[in-house]
Structures are given as C-alpha cells and as structure tokens.
Amino acid sequence: MPDADRFTLSDLPPLRLDADFWSLRWVEERSESYAVRKNVALPFSACTDRGVMATVYAGGGCGYAATADTSLAGLSAALERAAAWARATAKFALIDSRTLPRPAPRGEYASPSVATPSRSRREWYELLMNESRAAAIDARIVDWDASIDVVHATHRLVTSEGGDVVQRYRFLFPGMAVTAHANGDTQTRTLHGHRGICQQGGDEVLARFGYEGAMRRIAGEALELLAAPNCPGGTMDVLLMPDQMILQIHESIGHPLELDRILGDERNFAGTSFVTPDMFGSYRYGSDLLNVTFDPTRGEELASYGWDDEGAPAERVSLIRNGILERPLGGATSQLRAGLAGTSNARADNWNRPPIDRMANLNLEPGDATLEDMIAGIDRGVMMETNCSWSIDDSRNKFQFGAERGRLIENGKLGAVVKNPNYRGISASFWRSLVRVGNADTVQVLGSPHCGKGEPSQVIRVGHSSPACVFANVDVFGGEDR
C-alpha cells in the first residue's frame, strides 16, 4: 500500500505552526524499465521513489520542506521547517501569502487501465526482443534499441482546509530507434521521436501506435535516409506531421504562454517570453485557423489529472481561439500575481520540488483538411516527420527545428525522401503563416516526459495532441554539404 494511503489526518500530532495554511503532497512512483539493445537485454531496473512536500503559509511568507521521512514525526518536522522558512523570508516575500487561495479540494482521479494487470517481465522482454531482431536488415545498421518504461504513481494532496485528493496514474513510455551509417554519414530513425509516444493507460497504448512490428519499418527508413539527398534550401511551404508539430507547439506556444515566465520567475534560467500581459484578449498569435486548448481532462493524454498540485480542479480551456490569444498557462498563484484568468497547471515533477506553472496537456485543435488535400495544395514544399533538433531563444521567439525525415512535395504530389530537413522562423510571425489544419484523422496524441524548467529545476511530463498542419513561405534548409 502506498504511504500516501496510510496517512490519516487525525493521526498527525498537534502542530505548533501558527500558520495561515498548510498542505502535504505525497508522491509515490514505482517504475520498471525494460530495454533491448542490439538483441541484448539491458539489465532490468526498477525504481521506487516516495516522499512528501510540506508547504506552509505563515506571517505573509510561504515556505516548503521536502522529506522522504513519511512517518508522522517526519511529516510534523517537515511542516515546522516549512513554517520556519515562511517566516524567515517573509520580509522579502514577492507574494503576500495571506492573499493566496487556500484550496480544499476533495475527490479521486485514475488513469485509464490503472488497475489492469501488466505484462510479465518475460513478456515485456519477449516483445522487445522480437522488435530488436527485426532491425538488423543490413550491415549498415550499426545500432538499435527497443524499450518500454511502465510507471505506476499515487499522488495525494491534503490541506489544512480539509482538502484531500488522491490521484492514481499508470503511464507507458515505449520507444524504439535505429541508426544506420555509411560513407561518413549517420542517420537515426525513431518511432515518433525519443519517448514521443507516452500516454496514460495500459497495453492499448502500444496498439494505438502500431508498436509491434514497427522496428523493421523504421530500420528501412533509416537506410532510406542514408541514401537520400540533403533537404533543399529556400523559402517554401512545410507540411509538419504531428510528431513534429508537438515540438512546434511545445516550444513556441507552450513555453511563451507560461505565466511564471511572463512574470519573470524563469529569467535567470529557462528564459522570459515575448508575450506580455497586455496581449491577452487581443493579440493575433496566429492565423484564423489556430485554435489551442489546455486540456488535462483527455484520459489517455500524458498530463491528464483531476486536480493540479495546488488543488485547482482540472478544466479544459481555450488559450488561443481563431488565432487570438485569450489566456496564459498560469496556476492560481500566478493568476493572482498577474490579475489574469489562467489554467489549473501548478505542477511539480516530484515530491522534492514545489509546483510551478507547467504545460500539462497543450493541444492544437483539428481543422477540416484531409492529408491528401494538404499535400495537393502545395506546389513546392517539404513534409517533415519526427522532431530531432530543437533550439529557441530565451524569449521563445527565434527558433530553429529539425526533423528526422523529409519528403519533397512538388505540384501537389509527395516525392523523394530527403534527409536533415530543418527550418527556422520567429514564433510571433510563424503561426500567422498557418494555412491548413488537418482534420481529426490526422491527429496524434503524443507528448514528452522531459520538459525542463524551474529553479531548482524540474523535468515534467507533458502531453500534446495535434493534427498535421501546413505553413506557408518558411525558411527551409538541409544539412552540411559533404
């Protein structure tokens, strides 16, 4: 039984906190990692990580203390340390904690298939070994691997106002990659990127992405890339497939809309934002076709939940509607600071870090174009699949992104495969060149377990759902001449 389930509030010894508010947030995660590389099973590894974050509002300050000592004495001591931090720094407090909400949420959340029995260790290794053995189709294949991480988590938030929320998750992180090398060039092909496939749920996640049997296909595509010419350069249309779109959304919509960035918290580390508070409600972020939602309620998506880590109830809201910026990604604390409506996205990556504004699920809503229509509408362009390179400035404006695989589009028809497709642009203008948005048939629900941010730093799970999209007149280029 997780520690979080054993706790009963009435068992806690009397606290001498003199606090306005306190909370205890348990995180207990059990993970199992399976991987096969070049037909050799990598050593099995498991992880059990559990601890509690104590947060206290006292004297106008807000302090925290994280501990893995989940005994009642350990919890009491952590609350007292957090209270001392609140008081010791109250004179410098950026936010008067007496003005902050004091949440009292109650309820439970569970991932799809959270209680469904998992495959046995032997079955996981058998699946991965079968995929691995399908990769070695040519001597030029020099490296390959197939892997799956399975994570079960229990999160519980108890507050001094009577709040008590239990959330149980099951995450699946499958991946596979093949690397081919010849004549001084190396090309790697993955199944939707490094951990791009990541969802809540059980084995149904694998079936959704055709995981079984995919290795042979991507091995063939890695060889195809070796033989392909470099992506041509020039100004042209790009058709970005969902496994490239998720990166585009993440970096040039998600991060700039984070309200803590806009408020300056991240300026010493992750960066600031070209978005300013006065833009909400009027700024044209993209073309009329751009509709972006924050949606932590979509069951299978990676960052779905019932409440955020400060206790705000999960709710689907529109951030950009018909191209106009409506609201930022900001939790209750940031909303108070900025005087703006936001989202339930105050999240921490573990028990040892405090909540900050994160993306959770950030989705681009589908339009009405079929994939065939989008291709047919392009005279000269490149279709790009699967992100492999990402770089953007600290205001989240000037970006350069690269994909694993490109295909030329000429006169409305898909043509030859090209390698090293890259493109660059500026967020503030790029989304205004969105000219076609794919319909629901083109949508994929993907994500990333590796979104980094914060001081101290945190790497958190985010979900992104997107259709394929077309952007006009983009600066495209390929790799180095060899």
Partner 1 sequence: MNVPRDVGAAPALMETYFHDLASTLDRLLVAGESYTAGFSAEASDFVRMNRGKVRQPGAVVQRYLDVRLIRGAKHAAHRLSLSGDAAADREMLRAATAGLRDALHDLDDDPHLLIATDVHSTRAQRGGPLPPAEVVIDAVLGAANGLDLVGLYAGGSMYRGFANSFGQRNWHEATLFNLQWSLYHRADKAVKSAMSGFTWDERAFAARMDRARTDLVHVAMPAMTLAPGKYRAYLTPAAMEDVASILCWGGFSARALATRQSSLARMQGSDDSGARLDPRITISEATVDGVAPSFQDDGFVRPERVSLIDAGRLVGSLVSPRTAREFSLETNGANGYEAPEALAMAGGTLATGDAVAALGTGLYVGNLHYLNYSDRPAGRMTGMTRFATFWVENGRIVAPVNVLRFDDTLFRMLGANLEALTAETELIAESGTYRERALSGMRLPGALLSELAFTL
**Binding to partner 1 (CB under 8 A): which residues in 140-169?**
142-143
Residue 133 binds to partner 1 (criterion: CB under 8 A) = no
Q: Does residue 118 bind partner 1 (CB under 8 A)? A: no
**Nearer residue to partner 1 within complex by CB, 113 or 188:** 188
Which amino acid makes up residue 421?
P
Distance from the Cα of residue 347 to its chain's centroid? 12
Which is nearer to partner 1, 294 or 430 (by Cβ)?
Answer: 430
Please state the φ and ψ torsions of residue 379, each to the nearest 5 degrees.
Answer: -80, -45
Contact mark string toward partner 1, 185..204, x via CB under 8 A: xx-x----------------
Q: What distance in Å separates the CA atoms of residue 397 and residue 274, rounded to the nearest whole number?
A: 7
Q: Is 469 in the site for partner 1 (CB under 8 A)?
A: no
Residue numbers 70-109 binding partner 1 by CB under 8 A: 70-71, 74, 77, 80-82, 84-89, 92-95
CB neighbour list of residue 253: distance below 8 Å, 6 or more residues apart: 285, 292, 319, 320, 362, 427, 431
Question: Hey, how many other C-beta atoms are within 10 angstroms of the C-beta on 127?
Answer: 20
Residue type, 179: T
Q: How far is the CB of 50 from partner 1 (least distance, A)?
A: 6
Judged by beta carbon, residue 143 or residue 203, the one nearer partner 1 is 143
d(CA 148, CA 453): 25
Interaction pattern, residues 235-264, with partner 1; x per rule: CB under 8 A: ----------------------------xx
Using CB under 8 A, pick the residue from 13, 14, 43, 117 that binds partner 1.
Answer: 43
Is 390 within 8 Å of 429 (Cβ atoms)?
no
Q: Does 429 bind partner 1 (CB under 8 A)?
A: no
| Identity of the residue, 391 or 473, whose beta carbon is nearer to partner 1 in the bound complex | 391
| Rounded-to-integer distance, Cα 84 and Cα 80, Å | 6
| Tokens, residue 100 | 């902050």
Tokens of 64: 């925290």
Sign of CA dihedral 187, 188, 191, 194: negative
* Stretch touching partner 1 by CB under 8 A, among 235-243, 289-297, 452-460, 462-470: 452-460
Q: Is 271 in the site for partner 1 (CB under 8 A)?
A: yes
Q: Are 300 and 306 in contact (CB under 8 A)?
A: no
Name which position in 19, 62, 75, 375 contacts partner 1 (CB under 8 A).
62
- Stretch 383-402 residues interacting with partner 1 (CB under 8 A): 389-395, 397-398, 400, 402
